[in-house]
Amino acid sequence: MKRHFTALSISLTWVLADAVSVASTDLPQVPAGFEALVEGQVEQLELQLLNRNLGLHPVVVRPGRIEFQQPERIAALLIEAGASASSEELLPLLSEPLPSNSQLACSYGLASEASCGYLDTDAVAVILDEAGARLQILMRKDWLPASDTAALRLHTPSEAANALVHRQNINIAQADSYRALGASGLGAVGLGAVGLGDSSHFGFTWNYQAYQSKRGSDSSLEFNNAYYRQDFEREHYAQAGRMDMSNLSSAEGGNFSFSLLPLGRIDGARVGTTLAYLNREVVGQGTPISLILTQRSRVDAFRGEELLSTSYLDAGVQNVDTRTFPNGSYPVTLRVIENGQVTRTETVPFSRTDGNGLGDDTVQWFLQGGRTAEHSLYEQDPSGVAQTGLRIPLRDDLALTSAITWLDSAFYNENRLDWAGTLGASSWSLSGALLRGNDGASGNSQQMTFTHGISWSVYRYSLKSPSCERTTRAYQQSGCNESLTASASLPLAGGTLSAGYNYNRYAQVNPFSYWNDFPEEDDPTSDLTTSTWARTFQVGFSRGHALGPFQLIHRVGAFRNASGNRETDHGLYLSLSLSHNERSPTGGYRQSNVSLDARREQNAPDSLRTSLGHTRAWDGEQGRNELNTGVGYDDLGRWDAELGGRIERNWGESSLTVAQRGGDQQDSRPGFSGNHSSSLALGRDGFFWGQGQGGTGPGAAVGIIAAPLENATGAAAKVSGGYGAQTSIGFGEKRLIPVNGFEATHTRISDADASRQNLSSVNVGNGNREWFLPPGKLAVQRIESTLSYTYVGRLVDARGQPLVQAAILNASMMETGEDGSFVVDLNHHPDPLFALDLNGVHACTVQTRAAQSSLRRVGTLTCESTTLDALPKDLNDPDRLGRWTARRSAALSLDKRSQP
């Protein structure tokens, strides 16, 4: 033992004097065992100048300061971005270490703080956002780019690569009278370079529909869009190919929110202004589609025969979720299924854009021309068409829009006025539109919302076409529609009092009148038009009560339904709902809900219906799960039951509900509805598959790649962003986060939850990161994680004596206790465990055991003396060993001097 101690002392003598000196100066500021932190590490950071992304660059990050590894490259990029300083002025400043100013970073969710994100400097300064892996560069004002105002108003695309990005959605539905299958997809392929210059992509949408009823069956596959688009200076664009109105209704085409003008699908070209790059806070929600339901019902939404969505809604005034509906203006047919059978069908107008165009002070315009390419029941020969539109901002909150369509000899004009404002606690929005055509077509629409304690909204729509009265062909004007939807709610007695009214009348030309190719022959139908109407009214009161960990909500109300083909129905309803939320062991939530509904109908004959439903949702290790069950019964002996479920996984979201009814004279067969949505991307980093929630336009995506780790299992990190819920990613796996093209979004990478097998920590790529991606772009974020296992045991020497306050070299010099016990975290199995005390280096063999838990109890380990040469290269650091020996010797001397 004495020989080992002498050898160690001789080998460390040359560093002992320096170690003592360091210990008296720098080391008191750094915790023991963490001295390596002051040396810093190289990180890939996203550099930003104002709102411009300069890409990822290597930066040495140390406590309180940073240092650029490529100052020449950074100087060139700043000058390229418009900085007026010369390379000779910037290079010396960028070559020196700079204060990191991390305390001034605007972390995600705190960007509104006035004190963050800015630092006045007379040269160059930086703000390091460690959570977002970003480095903001600030410069003296006369060096800043002259176009900094425009840079703040417009987004600059993030660094990404061209790829195929595609989202797909499948809906299925079956009722007594029909079966329907709807599949659709939208995709984009990036073609141009991303940056301050031009960018381009190829965008396309498709849908497949299969429909079967007692009258027959039909199926079709169509491409509504297939076009090439080129952007110019982030404010103008040109595109050519097959196009519908969805681009015009979104920020890509300037947010033209036409609800009456016939703007159909064309084969041609379009030029105009774009708001796609505008740094905006608000996106449009579309005109509301409201339904008054007297009980929990299934609602299937169709555009023609295209199944857009299927969902279950509770009793009351309910809004149909239209987030996945295509942009544009078109009629939507709603089929209400109660107790397993279709009880009501309504057709309502719908118009959706990605914004109302307000808040931007620029004039927007478009011009397009080509030939018609219709896809409705009323197929027409292709005709030449030209269309143009203009929106002029009259004030910040007021805009005037006008557009014209020419089709052969037909001429249509729509003028629209939009106004939105706030005053104190009140907010409102008003819009009105007027349509006129030289063939007799006319229409108007008004929408109004107001909120001030009481909330109410009114939407009215009227469209009349000459084809309602005669068989004159009219471009996209195949029917007449009148619709009025009004709703109001106000707080009352701790709850909410609400009322809703809906009137709808829809008439269309019988399709046979278009299919008759021989005018001299008699029409096969006696009526040239078919029409339906419906009027519903409901008033209700709801209130919630907290009962310990439970939440009780009760609803009570009255209703009246009338339509042209059914007897008038009116009655009362009562609904009780009891829910409970709790944290799950995986860190998510478990939700449980039990509901009881009773309804009294007054028609022929009277009936009382009661139903009971239960919903349970929980987060599992692989994703979110949901299970729904329900039964119903009325006093006429009729019953129905349903069973459904939904799962959300890394490969998408799927749901399926099966329903059965009985007890009546009609044939009964199971009804069902289901949905699946997902996304995919194919780029230079391979194939990615992911969730499909959200998004209605050509998309982009962020791909997450977790580096593999030898013998690693379990989760490497948590991933969240886009429209999907938080999920986990394993070592060596990929995740796809789909996002809307031309929409700012963010991703967050964090450490995985502790599991029975390991505790994972993200070393590279963690934190928040913001993205702005054009369609057809795939940004890849790479992460590296390490595993941590906790070893618990005790070290003794060959004589069985404990190694007291010995430094464990495998674990950053953590020291043992007075009895030789230790608790250390390691990222791999130590073979062996090395310890250092004043007697020398010790090697302690740890028995290899199956990794059944992150906590590994290794018991008492017998250690053998060894030499410095036996240490692995990563542990044999003379400086570190010398500093610890010096400190330990000094501490031992102080202890001896303090003894009496």
Q: Phi and psi (nearest 5°) for 90?
A: -80, -40
Flag whether pLDDT at 637 surpasses 90.
Answer: no
β strands within 424-453, DSSP E: 426-437, 442-452
Tell the burial category of 28 from Cβ atoms under 10 Å away from its Cβ (0-12, 13-18, 19+).
exposed
- Alpha-carbon distances, residue 570 vs 342, 394, 514, 548 (angstroms): 18, 47, 39, 37
Give the span between the Cα atoms of 349 and 460, in whole angstroms. 10
Helix 2-24 and helix 878-898: axis angle, to 10°?
Answer: 90
- Which residue type, as a one-letter code, is found at position 729? I
Count CB atoms within 10 A of the CB of residue 419: 17
Question: What band does 217 get if pLDDT is binned at 50, 70 and 90?
Answer: confident
Q: Which residue has the tokens 């996984």?
A: 649
Tell the burial category of 523 from Cβ atoms under 10 Å away from its Cβ (0-12, 13-18, 19+).
middle
- Alpha-carbon distances, residue 863 vs 225, 815, 830 (angstroms): 73, 15, 13
Average pLDDT over residues 268-274: 94
Residue-level pLDDT at 198: 54
Pair 875, 834: CB distance under 8 Å:
yes
Give the span between the Cα atoms of 649 and 573, in whole angstroms. 37
Q: In this predicted model, what pLDDT tens digit does every residue of 833-853 receive, in sequence order?
A: 999 888 888 999 987 655 556
Pair 57, 66: CB distance under 8 Å:
no
Half-sphere exposure of 77 (CA within 13 A, CB side): 19
For residue 753, the 8-state DSSP code is: P
Instruction: List the one residue out of 116, 118, 201 whose CA is nearest residue 157.
Output: 201
More confident residue, 323 or 463: 463
More confident residue, 51 or 466: 466
Percentage of the chain beyond pLDDT 90 is: 20
Give the span between the Cα atoms of 255 and 233, in whole angstroms. 18
Flag whether pLDDT at 285 surpasses 80.
Answer: no
Give the span between the Cα atoms of 572 and 567, in whole angstroms. 17
Flag whether pLDDT at 569 surpasses 90.
Answer: no
Q: Which residue has the tokens 């002392």?
A: 9
Give the span between the Cα atoms of 627 and 843, in whole angstroms. 55
Q: Where are the domains of the chain?
A: 2-30+797-898, 37-153
Flag whether pLDDT at 28 surpasses 60.
Answer: no
Put residue 214 in one of left, alpha, beta given phi > 0 → left and psi -120 to 50 → alpha: alpha
Residues with Cβ within 8 Å of 799's Cβ and at least 6 positions away in sequence, in order, are none
Average pLDDT over residues 269-289: 73
Give the span between the Cα atoms of 628 and 647, in whole angstroms. 12
More confident residue, 51 or 12: 51
Weakest mean pLDDT among 142-156, 288-302, 314-328, 817-831:
142-156
pTM summary value? 0.67
Flag whether pLDDT at 346 surpasses 70.
Answer: yes
Q: In this predicted model, what pLDDT tens digit does every residue of 245-266 receive, in sequence order?
A: 888 888 888 888 888 887 778 8
Instruction: List the one residue out of 671, 697, 633 whose CA is nearest residue 312.
Output: 671
Question: What band does 30 get if pLDDT is binned at 50, 70 and 90?
Answer: very low
- Tokens representing 892 are 């031992």
For residue 522, the 8-state DSSP code is: P
Residue-level pLDDT at 716: 81
Count CB atoms within 10 A of the CB of residue 831: 11
Summary mean pLDDT of the chain? 78
Average pLDDT over residues 645-664: 87
Give the span between the Cα atoms of 747 and 778, in whole angstroms. 13
Flag whether pLDDT at 638 surpasses 60.
Answer: yes
Give the span between the Cα atoms of 738 and 632, in whole angstroms. 40
CA 1 to chain centre: 64
Pair 814, 807: CB distance under 8 Å:
yes
Count CB atoms within 10 A of the CB of residue 832: 16
- Alpha-carbon distances, residue 130 vs 110, 576, 750, 769 (angstroms): 14, 48, 13, 10
Question: What band does 826 get if pLDDT is binned at 50, 70 and 90?
Answer: confident
Flag whether pLDDT at 339 surpasses 70.
Answer: yes
Question: What band does 753 get if pLDDT is binned at 50, 70 and 90?
Answer: low
Question: What band does 512 get if pLDDT is binned at 50, 70 and 90?
Answer: very low
Residue-level pLDDT at 262: 78
Q: Phi and psi (nearest 5°) for 892?
A: -70, -40
Pair 838, 888: CB distance under 8 Å:
yes
Flag whether pLDDT at 800 surpasses 50.
Answer: yes
Question: What band does 12 get if pLDDT is binned at 50, 70 and 90?
Answer: very low
User: Which residues are bridge partners to 749 per DSSP?
Assistant: 719, 767
More confident residue, 192 or 455: 455
Pair 527, 543: CB distance under 8 Å:
no
Half-sphere exposure of 88 (CA within 13 A, CB side): 0
Q: In this predicted model, what pLDDT tens digit does every residue of 91-121 receive, in sequence order?
A: 999 999 999 988 887 654 333 333 466 677 8
Instruction: List the one residue out of 786, 863, 870 whose CA is nearest residue 828.
Output: 786
- Our CA dihedral for 106, 110, 114, 118, rounded to 10 degrees, sits at 10
Residue-level pLDDT at 345: 83
Question: What band does 607 get if pLDDT is binned at 50, 70 and 90?
Answer: low
Strand 442-452, strand 454-464: pairing:
antiparallel
Residue-level pLDDT at 25: 35
Q: Could you give the angle at the alpha carbon of 415 between the alpha carbons of 410 and 421, nearest 5°?
A: 160
Average pLDDT over residues 314-337: 76
β strands within 140-234, DSSP E: 161-162, 164-174, 178-190, 199-213, 216-232
Flag whether pLDDT at 150 surpasses 50.
Answer: no
Pair 132, 107: CB distance under 8 Å:
yes
Helix 71-80 and helix 87-95: axis angle, to 10°?
Answer: 140
Instruction: List the one residue out of 321, 325, 339, 311 whose CA is nearest residue 674.
Output: 311
User: Which residues are bridge partners to 779 per DSSP?
Assistant: 702
More confident residue, 589 or 237: 237
Give the span between the Cα atoms of 554 and 94, in whole angstroms. 65
User: Coil, strand or helix: which one is 651?
Assistant: coil
Pair 258, 399: CB distance under 8 Å:
no
Instruction: List the one residue out of 350, 326, 308, 324 whose CA is nearest residue 738.
Output: 324
Pair 116, 106: CB distance under 8 Å:
yes
Pair 46, 769: CB distance under 8 Å:
yes
Pair 647, 274: CB distance under 8 Å:
no
Pair 128, 43: CB distance under 8 Å:
no
Q: Name the CA radius of gyration of the chain, rounded.
A: 34
User: Coil, strand or helix: which one is 887?
Assistant: helix
Residue-level pLDDT at 897: 57
Alpha helices of 136-183 — where are they, by DSSP H? 148-153
Give the span between the Cα atoms of 401 and 363, in whole angstroms. 10
193-203 residues labelled b (16+ CB within 10 A) or e (exposed): ebebeebbbbb
278-282, 523-527, 538-542, 719-723, range with greatest mean pLDDT: 538-542
Pair 257, 357: CB distance under 8 Å:
yes
Pair 720, 726: CB distance under 8 Å:
yes
Give the span between the Cα atoms of 98 and 90, in whole angstroms. 13
- Alpha-carbon distances, residue 224 vs 167, 514, 826 (angstroms): 15, 22, 57
Question: What band does 387 get if pLDDT is binned at 50, 70 and 90?
Answer: very high
Flag whether pLDDT at 17 surpasses 70.
Answer: no
Q: Which residue has the tokens 């023609």?
A: 304
Residue-level pLDDT at 862: 92
Residue-level pLDDT at 134: 82
Greatest CA span in the chain, whole angstroms?
126
Give the span between the Cα atoms of 102 and 104, in whole angstroms. 5
Give 37-153's CATH code, choosing from 3.10.20, 3.30.70, 3.90.25, 3.30.420.
Answer: 3.10.20
Strand 297-303, strand 164-174: pairing:
unpaired
Q: Which residue has the tokens 């995985």?
A: 752
Tell the burial category of 680 from Cβ atoms under 10 Å away from its Cβ (0-12, 13-18, 19+).
buried
Pair 716, 785: CB distance under 8 Å:
yes
Percentage of the chain beyond pLDDT 70 is: 77
